[in-house]
Chains A and B, each alone.
Chain A
Amino acid sequence: SQKIEQNSEALNIQEGKTATLTCNYTNYSPAYLQWYRQDPGRGPVFLLLIRENEKEKRKERLKVTFDTTLKQSLFHITASQPADSATYLCALGYGQNFVFGPGTRLSVLP
C-alpha cells in the first residue's frame, strides 16, 4: 500500500545545530516533492520544491535532498533557531494528485 512517513512525530535539537528531517515514501512515483512549515493554528507555508531529476535544492539556511532510489527526502535546517520551531510537512506530487506526510514537530531549544 502507499505510505508516506516522516522520521518522527517530534524532534528536539539545540539552538545552533543542524536539524535533519526525513520523509520516506512507499509505492509512490512522485514527480516532485515539497516541504511546508506549519505553526499551531495556522495554514502550512511553502518552503521548498524539488523535482525528481534534482538531487539537492537550497534556500538560505534550508537544504532539501531527493533520492528516488532510496525513496527519501531529507530536509536540513542549518544554524537552527528557536523561531524554527514548528511542524514540518513533506508532500508528494504524482499524476494529478498531491499527498502530505504526517509531519514532524521540531523544537529548537535555546
Chain B
Amino acid sequence: KAGVTQTPRYLIKTRGQQVTLSCSPISGHRSVSWYQQTPGQGLQFLFEYFSETQRNKGNFPGRFSGRQFSNSRSEMNVSTLELGDSALYLCASSLGGTGTLSGNTIYFGEGSWLTVV
C-alpha cells in the first residue's frame, strides 16, 4: 500500500510569508502527526491530529498550526515565516496515535524541505 505522501518536497519562501504543507497518510490511518527537524534541535514534535481533532501539541508558537480533514489528510501552516523556520518538516501517520496505550508504529513521509530566505 502507498506510504505517507508529503507535498511539496522542496520550497523556498521569503521571511514574512506563510506556507502550507500537505500530508496524505497511509490508507486507514487516522492519526497524523507533524515534526520539525533541524540539525541543531533534532526532531521536534509539532502536533498530532486524530479524527480531525488536535489531540496533542508540542512547544511551538501559534504561528504553527494544522488541521485534519475527514479523509485523514492533513495540512500544516506556518505564518509570518522566520529564518529559523528553515527545516525539514515531517509528517507521520499511525493507526491509533502515539499515546501511552497505543505504542503504535508511526510511518514517516519523506518530508518537505522548507528554506526561508
B111 to A, closest residue via Cβ: A43
CB-CB under 8 A for A100 and B100, given A42-B110, A43-B108, A46-B107: no
A98–B111 Cα distance when bound, in Å, is 18
Residue A69 is within 8 A (CB to CB) of chain B in the complex: no
Chain A residues, CB < 8 A from B92: 43
CB-CB under 8 A for A96 and B56, given A43-B111, A89-B43, A103-B42: yes
A43–B26 Cα distance when bound, in Å, is 14
Chain A residues, CB < 8 A from B103: 31-32, 34, 49, 51, 93
Q: Which of B1-39 contact A (CB under 8 A)?
A: 4, 33, 35
B97 to A, closest residue via Cβ: A96
Partner of B98, one of A44, A51, A93: A93
Q: Mark B47-70, 1 if CB is under 8 A from A, else 0.
A: 010000001100000000000000
A42–B112 Cα distance when bound, in Å, is 10
- Tell me whether chain A's interface is mostly helix, strand or loop, or mixed: strand
Nearest-neighbour CB distance to chain A for B93, whole angstroms, equals 11
Residue A95 is within 8 A (CB to CB) of chain B in the complex: yes
Residue A99 is within 8 A (CB to CB) of chain B in the complex: yes
A43 touches B100 (CB 8 A): no
Chain A residues, CB < 8 A from B48: 98
B105 to A, closest residue via Cβ: A46
A101 touches B42 (CB 8 A): yes
Q: Mark A60-104, 1 if CB is under 8 A from B, else 0.
A: 000000000000000000000000000001000111111111110
14 contacts between A and B (CB under 8 A): A31-B101, A32-B103, A41-B110, A43-B90, A43-B111, A49-B105, A93-B98, A96-B56, A96-B99, A97-B45, A97-B99, A98-B48, A100-B45, A102-B42
Contacts A43-B111, A98-B98 aside, 10 further interface pairs with beta carbons under 8 A come to: A41-B110, A41-B111, A43-B4, A43-B90, A93-B100, A93-B102, A96-B56, A96-B100, A97-B56, A103-B42
Residues of B within 8 A of A (CB): 4, 33, 35, 42-45, 48, 55-56, 90, 92, 97-103, 105-111
- Chain A to chain B: the 9 pairs with minimum beta-carbon distance, closest first: A43-B108, A98-B98, A100-B43, A31-B100, A32-B103, A96-B99, A102-B42, A46-B105, A44-B108
